[in-house]
Amino acid sequence: MPDPMLTTDLAGLPLRTPVILAAGTAGTLGEMADILDLSRVGALVTKSITPEPREGNAPWRVAPLKAGMLNAIGLANPGIDAFISHYAPKADAIPTTVIGSIAGFSIDDYRRVAAEMDAIESIPAVELNVSCPNVKHGVEIGADPTLLAELIREVRPLLTGTRLIVKLPPVTTGTPHTITDLARACIEPGEGATPAGPNARPGCDALSLCNTTPGMAIDVRTRKPKIGNGTGGLSGPAVHNTIVRLVHLTHTQIARDTNTPIVGIGGVMTWDDAAELILAGATAIEVGTALFANPAAPIKIAKGLKKWGTQQGVSNLSQLVGAIEG
């Protein structure tokens, strides 16, 4: 029986709990089932899928750090054709909501994977990983509001029954764009946007904040970078409070007024990290790095959130979204 304290509505998508397994940290699809009871998590996000299969970067691809981890996997994934033939048929049997993650190096890449994922009935939402360099413009799609808006205008009409979530990079300085500029491009992509999807919105149904933060780690004995790619994406406790701020800013500056739910992602190791993101404005949270330390962390986090909700005197955690005082 779903717990009334924990049941979550993510842009009309009912989740059993607000705790979701983050893209790329829980296998391609349901591999975590061997070590985690998936019926007790809110949803899982697949590995990011590109049109063609990708081998990924040379090792080492992951390095443990004092306050988290660094990764440069290089989007290793089976590609959309193999995903459709080998993985999608199994999605139906997974006892939680499956969110498909899409990555690409051009708007056409996203269009192709989005159209294929829209046809999979057991994938009711997709999350666009826009932290990929665009081959034509040479910048990350997710760092440029103009490109982002174009991406949303192109992908939105292809998603007929599927919710659209956009996962933004962690913009901290506002030079040249702020996180709110990026969020606005996804929510209000401008002229020519066709309202589509179950919520009939011209822009995205929800935002995920955020992807990893660029970082580097050096082995001081060998004087070599700790991962093969040289630099990578930082995750875990090291990024948590950066993300709390970005969720708070996005919630108060645009998401709340446009009724756009936020999925908070970054260094959620324990229930109070998740609670902090909820108070900052997140409707749900994703857990990534914590899974490497303890695959059962999502269940423990959900239990802690339930206790917290009771202590705070609410009947459902949604009553605490953005409820920071002062």
Ligand X SMILES: Cc1cc2nc3c(=O)[nH]c(=O)nc-3n(C[C@H](O)[C@H](O)[C@H](O)COP(=O)(O)O)c2cc1C
Active site residues: 132
Distance in angstroms (rounded) separating the CA atoms of residues 77 and 143: 23
Q: Among residues 6, 19, 20, 23, which is the contact residue for ligand X, using CB under 6 A?
A: 23
We find the least distance from the C-beta atom of residue 315 to ligand X, in angstroms, to be 28
Distance in angstroms (rounded) separating the CA atoms of residues 290 and 64: 12
Q: Measured from the CB atom, is 23 or 196 closer to ligand X?
A: 23
- Where do the H-state alpha helices sit in the chain? 79-82, 88-91, 107-118, 145-155, 179-187, 237-250, 271-280, 289-293, 297-311
Residue range at the interface with ligand X (CB under 6 A); choices 30-38, 144-152, 264-272, 298-306:
264-272
Distance in angstroms (rounded) separating the CA atoms of residues 94 and 52: 25
One character per residue 283-322, x = contact with ligand X (rule: CB under 6 A) = ----xxxx--------------------------------
We find the least distance from the C-beta atom of residue 49 to ligand X, in angstroms, to be 9
Could you tell me the two tokens for 308?
Answer: 């917290």
We find the least distance from the C-beta atom of residue 301 to ligand X, in angstroms, to be 11
For position 48 contacting ligand X by CB under 6 A, the verdict is: yes
Could you tell me the two tokens for 53?
Answer: 């299969």
Distance in angstroms (rounded) separating the CA atoms of residues 15 and 9: 6
Q: Measured from the CB atom, is 140 or 190 closer to ligand X?
A: 140
Distance in angstroms (rounded) separating the CA atoms of residues 113 and 108: 9
Q: Among residues 24, 78, 215, 264, which is the contact residue for ligand X, using CB under 6 A?
A: 24
Could you tell me the two tokens for 28?
Answer: 């391609």
Q: Measured from the CB atom, is 274 or 279 closer to ligand X?
A: 274
Contact at 8 Å (CB) between 21 and 12? no
Residue number closest to ligand X, CB atom? 24
- Using CB under 6 A as the binding criterion, the count of chain residues that bind ligand X stands at 26
Q: Among residues 236, 261, 264, 309, which is the contact residue for ligand X, using CB under 6 A?
A: 236
One character per residue 96-125, x = contact with ligand X (rule: CB under 6 A) = -----x------------------------
Q: Among residues 11, 20, 69, 166, which is the contact residue for ligand X, using CB under 6 A?
A: 69
Applying the rule CB under 6 A, the residues between 70 and 89 that interact with ligand X are 71, 73
Which of 240, 279, 314, 322 lies closest to 6, judged by CA?
Answer: 314
How many CB atoms neighbour CB 137 within 10 A?
12
For position 266 contacting ligand X by CB under 6 A, the verdict is: yes
Radius of gyration of the chain (CA): 18
Could you tell me the two tokens for 59?
Answer: 């090792």
Q: Measured from the CB atom, is 170 or 202 closer to ligand X?
A: 170
Q: Measured from the CB atom, is 74 or 198 closer to ligand X?
A: 74
We find the least distance from the C-beta atom of residue 25 to ligand X, in angstroms, to be 5
Cβ-based neighbours of 285, under 8 Å, separated by 6 or more: 18, 19, 20, 263, 264, 265, 268, 274, 277, 278, 301
Which residue ranges make up the site for ligand X (CB under 6 A)?
Answer: 22-25, 47-48, 62, 69, 71, 73, 101, 129, 167, 211-212, 235-236, 239, 265-268, 287-290
